[in-house]
Amino acid sequence: MKKIFLLVSAFVVTNAFSQVEKGSVLIKNGTVLTITKGNLENTDVLVRDGKIAQIGKGLAAPSGIKVVDATGLFVMPGIIDAHSHIALDAINEATSPVTAEVWEGDVINPFDMDIYRALAGGCTASHAMHGSANAIGGQCQTLKHRYGTYEADALVMEGAPRTIKFALGENPTRVHGGNNIVPRTRMGVEFVIRQAFSEAKEYMEKWDQYNKSKLVKGFRGTPPAYNLRMETLADILRGNIIIHCHSYRADEIYMLLKVCKDFGIKRLVFQHVNEGFKVAPELAAAGAMASVFADWWAYKFEVYYSTAYNAAILVKNGVVTSINSDSNDLIRHLYHEAAKTQKYGALTDDEALALITINPAKQLGIENRVGSIEVGKDADIAIFNAHPLSVYAVPQYTLVDGVVRFDRKNDAADMRIMPDPKENLEMATLHEYNGHNHDACLQNTEFLFTAKIFGAFNQE
C-alpha cells in the first residue's frame, strides 16, 4: 500500500524517448563563430555521433564520413528560439486562469512545415510555449528541429528542464475578466498567481506531512487528494520548473519579481518584456532573464512604450537576454532580428549573436548542451554564406545532432511528411492566411472574443 501511494505522490514526468537520429560529419575550412570562444578562421569542425568531437585546422576526415566544404562559409551554433508556438496542435487552454497541469509536450506536431522553415533559417531548437491566455498557463517543451520524423516524441529535446508559461497584463485579463472571472485587472493577475502558489504550498506541506507520518509504524490515515495542477505548481516552488512569463510593463514585471521572491522561486525568465529597459538593473539583481523582440510593438495598448534599444540596454545592464520570434515567420530570420541590435545599441558581433544562441540556451537551461560551438556539445550547427549578421547572409546548411536537416542545394519543393490522402488539391495551392499572425500567444482563443466564422482571425 505504501509503495503505491509513494508512486502517486512521487510522480515524475517520464517519457519513452524515441531513438534520436545522430550523424557524423566533417565541416571543412569554414569561419567558425564559436560565440563563447571567439572566431576561428579556416577551421574544421568534426562531428561524431551527433556531438562536436574536435575543432581545429586540417582535420582528417575519418573514413566514410560525410564532408561539408565550408570554404568561404560561416559556421555558427544552431539558432535557438526561446519563444515559439510552431509544431504544436494546441496553444491555449483558455478555459481557466490557471492551467499549470497541461503540457505542450502532449501536443507536438512533427509534421508542421514551420519546423522545416525554421531550419531553413538556421534555427535548430525552439521553446514550444503555451499561449498567454492564462495568468498561469501550461507547461512548455523545448524542441529540437528534427524535421523528417513521424514521431512526436522525437522532437523533444531529451533532458531539457521543464518550463511553464505565465502571463501578465492585458491577455489574461481580457480572456477571463471579460467572462466575469478573476483576473479582470493587473491586481487580479497578481492575486491569481499568489493564490495558486499559496494553495500549492499548502498541498505540498500536506503531502510532506502525510509521507512523514507514514514512516511511523502503525500509522493509519487518509492521504491528501491527488491534484495534477497542484503537483505542477509545487514543482515550481521546488525549483524544478523554470517560469517563462509573458509581460510588457515595468510595474507588472517588478510585481512578479516580488511574488517569486516571496515564494522563494529563483528561475524566472520574462518574455517580450518591452519595458524591460526600465527595470533592467532590478532584473539583473534578481538573476531574472529577458527574452525580447528586436523592434515589434504597438499592437495593443500595453505595448506602446517600447524601444528598439531594449535588448541592448538589458545586455549592458547584465541581464541574460535573448531575441525570440513568437512567430512562424520571424523564426526563419532571427539572425536579422539579432543584427538590429547593432544598429540600435551597437552590440558587438558576439553580443548580438549570443542573443539567439547561448543566451536563449541559458534561459531554457540547456546551455551545457547547445548554444555555442565547443567540443562535447550537441552538433546543432547553422552554416551561412556570409556573416550571419550581414543582411546578405543566406543559410546554406542546418544540422541537428550532426544530421543535415536543411541543405539549400537539395531543398525539395514538397517537404511535407504526411500529406492528407483526402486533400482537396483545388485548395492545396492557396496561400495560407498570413496577415498579422505574429505573436501566436492568443491562438485558439478566438472564440472567446468573436462569433465570426468566415472573417479573418486576429491571432494577437
Partner 1 sequence: MNFSQTSQRLLVACGLVAFAWAALAQEALPPVTRTYAFTNVNIIQAPGRKVDLGTLVVKDGLITAVGKGIAIPPGAIVIKADSMHVYAGFIDGFSRVGVTKPKEEQRERLKDPGNPPPERAGITPQNDVRYALNPADKSIEELRNLGFTVAQVVPYGNFLPGQAAIILLGGKSADQMVLQSRAALYSELTGNQNIYPNTIMAVMAKWRELYRQAVQAKNYESLYATNRAGLERPANDRVLEAFYPVIDQRLPVLFRSERILEMQRVLALKNDLKFPVLLGDVKEAWPLVPKVKASGAKVFLSLDLPEEIKKDDKKKDKPNAEREALEKRKAEMIAKATAQAAEFQKAAVPFGFSTATVKASAIPAHVRRMIAAGLSEDAALAALTTAPAQLLGLSDRLGSIDPGKMANLVISDKPYFNEKSKVRYVMVDGELFKLENKEARKADGKVNAGGAWSYKVESPQGGSGKIVIKDDGKGNLTGTITNSTTNRETDLKNLEIDGKTLTFSFDFAMGANPITINVSATIEGDSMDGSMVVGQFGNFPMKASRDPKN
Applying CB under 8 A, the residues found at the interface with partner 1 are 1, 4-5, 8, 11, 14, 16, 89-90, 92-99, 101-104, 106-107, 109, 111, 130, 138, 150-153, 179-181, 220-223, 225-229, 413-414, 416, 418-430, 432-433, 444, 447-448, 451-455, 457
Residue 34 dihedral angles phi and psi, to the nearest 5°: -75, -20
Q: Toward partner 1, which CB reaches closer, 106 or 262?
A: 106
Q: Toward partner 1, which CB reaches closer, 59 or 90?
A: 90
Identity of the residue numbered 420 = D
Q: Toward partner 1, which CB reaches closer, 113 or 284?
A: 113
Q: Toward partner 1, which CB reaches closer, 2 or 258?
A: 2
Report, in Å, the least distance between residue 349 CB and partner 1. 37
Report, in Å, the least distance between residue 216 CB and partner 1. 14
Kindly give the pairing relationship between strand 123-128 and strand 136-144.
Answer: antiparallel
DSSP string, 268-333: EEEEE-TTGGGSHHHHHHHT-EEEE-SS---SSGGG-S--TTHHHHHHHTT--EEE---STTGGGG
In angstroms, the CA 317 to CA 324 distance is 19
Report, in Å, the least distance between residue 141 CB and partner 1. 11
63, 88 Cβ separation under 8 angstroms: no
Using only C-alpha atoms, what is the Rg of the chain? Answer: 23
In angstroms, the CA 128 to CA 114 distance is 12
Q: Considering only CA atoms, which of 126, 107, 104, 106 is closest in space to residue 117?
A: 126
Report, in Å, the least distance between residue 448 CB and partner 1. 8
Q: Toward partner 1, which CB reaches closer, 97 or 169?
A: 97
36, 43 Cβ separation under 8 angstroms: no
Report, in Å, the least distance between residue 456 CB and partner 1. 8
352, 35 Cβ separation under 8 angstroms: no
Handedness of CA 226, 102, 380, 439 (dihedral sign): negative
Those residues whose C-beta lies under 8 Å from the C-beta of residue 73, and which sit 6 or more positions away, are 30, 31, 383, 384, 385, 396
Report, in Å, the least distance between residue 293 CB and partner 1. 23
Query: 243 by DSSP, 3-state: which?
Result: strand
In angstroms, the CA 35 to CA 91 distance is 32
- 557524423: which residue's cell? 24
Report, in Å, the least distance between residue 152 CB and partner 1. 5
Residue 88 dihedral angles phi and psi, to the nearest 5°: -125, 140
Q: Toward partner 1, which CB reaches closer, 150 or 301?
A: 150
C-alpha distance across the termini of the chain, in Å: 50
Residue 446 dihedral angles phi and psi, to the nearest 5°: -55, -35
Report, in Å, the least distance between residue 10 CB and partner 1. 12
Q: Toward partner 1, which CB reaches closer, 1 or 216?
A: 1
Q: Toward partner 1, which CB reaches closer, 215 or 391?
A: 215
Report, in Å, the least distance between residue 421 CB and partner 1. 4
In angstroms, the CA 141 to CA 202 distance is 27
Report, in Å, the least distance between residue 452 CB and partner 1. 6
Q: Toward partner 1, which CB reaches closer, 99 or 325?
A: 99
Q: Toward partner 1, which CB reaches closer, 301 or 433?
A: 433
Query: 411 by DSSP, 3-state: which?
Result: coil
- 576526415: which residue's cell? 61
Report, in Å, the least distance between residue 166 CB and partner 1. 16
Q: Toward partner 1, which CB reaches closer, 217 or 422?
A: 422
